[in-house]
Amino acid sequence: MFPNSPVDSGALNSLIFYLSVLGLILFVGTLLRLKVGIFKKYFIPASLIAGFIGLLLGPYSLNVLPAEMVATWGSLAGVLITIVFAPMLIGMTLGNSKEASKFAVPQVMYSYLGATLQIGIPLIIAGLILIPLFGVNQLFGTVIEIGWAGGHGTAGGMSEVFTTLGWGDGSSIALTSATLGLLIGIFGGMIIINIGVKKGYTSVIKDQSQLKTAKQADTSEKVASSYSSVNSNVVESFGFHAAIISIAILLGWVLQGLLSPIIPGLPLFPMAMIGGLIVNIILSKTKYFELIDRHTLQRIQGLALEFLIVGAVASISIPVVIEYAVPLLILTATSILVLVWYFFYVGPRMFEKDWFEHSIVNLGTLTGVIAVGLMLLRTVDPDMKTDAAAAYALRAPFFSPFLGGGLITALIPTLIVAYSSLIVGIGFLAISALILVLAYVFGIFRLNRRSVRQSVNKSA
């Protein structure tokens, strides 16, 4: 049940050296992010820049870094993603405000619709076209939702899942998909914003001359990003929170062991998140719940995520990407068309007011990361005059733990192995249709909006 042999000290020394080099590359990536204009303008994360530096120096390019080092970085992703997910539900409390819930419902339904479409359509395309014509793996259709909505962190973290289920190339393809999604979110989002302003769809910005790329300080004043909730004479606060995360991971490990006979290939990280929920429920019944500082947990998550992204991107297998280039481009083009329909057709019919602003923040998140979604929103609503940002924030606890890299995302590959890409794709497309029906029944989705311009005029 437990490992019965110690880890070789030489292997540990090698791991420390590999992590040190990874940290050096991240530092260089940070300097480039701070100094290079195009990186600053389009909010390219330092970890992504560092990952591409590692890829350039790796065995498939300049061959400066040894293959063993890069392979170790790639393997770390499966470990680090568990640290990212374990504290996700620890320290969280949900308000009881009915008004807040009602406020967030359209955003929740719109987000779920976008994610289920991003799962269902690619899986159907893979099942009907790509698998028969190109002989790709049954899991190929998962790389869109894993890479786009999940981002580079989820794409890298799923490497162990892909390997366990017999598709070791999956992580490289998912990471490439994540990079494409990030570019589509940034540049495609700006194109859509310009179209929206020109046609009068936006609520705040009324002229293209008012458009400015959302500014974000690259450095900030020295403010507290976490708080010490435990006296340092007792225990270092980061150590205390790391201990809580460790308990969540141990509980997740037990859950994984119990469920693995029923669900083969079940990854650890969603189980660690459920372990965190168990920890949260138990501690919330005690006075020690007040010792949890969400900001400290987020700092630990952020540390793991930064190193995860650098290592995962640096370990992308370029020959594998070239091999799958054509089917990946077909899947990407199809997903773009679905996203455009989702934005321009569903958006104005789902949101009664400020539909463009509510929709654009979701578009950025579904293709890239939260930062891209907020950047696009700040571009069309610089002073946050609409309710889009608040509604988007309220929807997070109801969406993030499940899709866009959450529990459901992690389980989809296992479902595909059991039932096939086509069957699972049809199932998620049916869920998308059900979401639209429910939204219509409850008066959230309105078919009588004959045009997006009518919706704009109504909300003005």
The one-digit pLDDT tens for each residue of the chain (460 residues) are 455 555 566 678 888 999 999 999 999 999 999 998 888 777 778 888 999 999 999 998 899 999 999 989 988 877 888 898 888 888 877 554 455 556 678 999 999 999 999 999 999 999 999 999 999 999 999 999 999 988 888 888 888 889 888 998 998 999 999 989 988 988 898 899 889 988 888 887 777 665 655 555 555 555 555 667 666 778 888 899 999 999 999 999 999 889 888 877 677 888 888 899 899 999 999 988 888 988 899 889 889 888 988 888 898 889 999 999 999 999 999 999 999 999 999 999 998 888 999 999 899 889 877 777 877 888 888 877 888 888 887 787 788 888 888 889 888 999 999 999 999 999 999 999 999 999 999 888 887 764 444 444 444 4
Number of domains in the chain: 1
CA distance linking residue 327 with residue 347, whole number of Å? 29
Flag whether 57 is in a domain: yes
Contact between residue 296 and residue 229 where contact means Cβ atoms under 8 Å apart: yes
| Structure confidence at residue 460 (pLDDT) | 45
Produce one character per residue of 50-68: b if its CB has 16 or more CB atoms within 10 Å, e if not: bbbbbbebbbbeeeebeee
263 within some domain: no
Residue 192 is assigned to a structural domain of this protein: yes
pLDDT score, position 242: 93
CB atoms within 10 A of CB 460: 9
Tell whether 288 is covered by a domain.
Answer: no
Cβ atoms of residues 160 and 410 within 8 Å: no
Cα(141)–Cα(147) distance, integer angstroms: 11
Q: What angle do CA 90, 79, 147 make, to 5 degrees?
A: 85
Residue 293, in any domain of the structure: no
d(CA 196, CA 104) in angstroms, rounded, equals 24
The first and second tokens of residue 170, run together, are: 């999956």
Query: Is 225 among the domain residues?
Result: no
Q: Find the domain containing 58 and state its range.
A: 9-210+303-459
Q: Is residue 255 part of a domain?
A: no
pLDDT at 5: 54
Distance CA 172, CA 159 (A): 8
With respect to residue 256, please indicate whether it lies within any of the assigned structural domains: no
- Chain length of the chain: 460
Q: What is the pTM of this model?
A: 0.81
Q: What is the pLDDT of residue 13?
A: 86
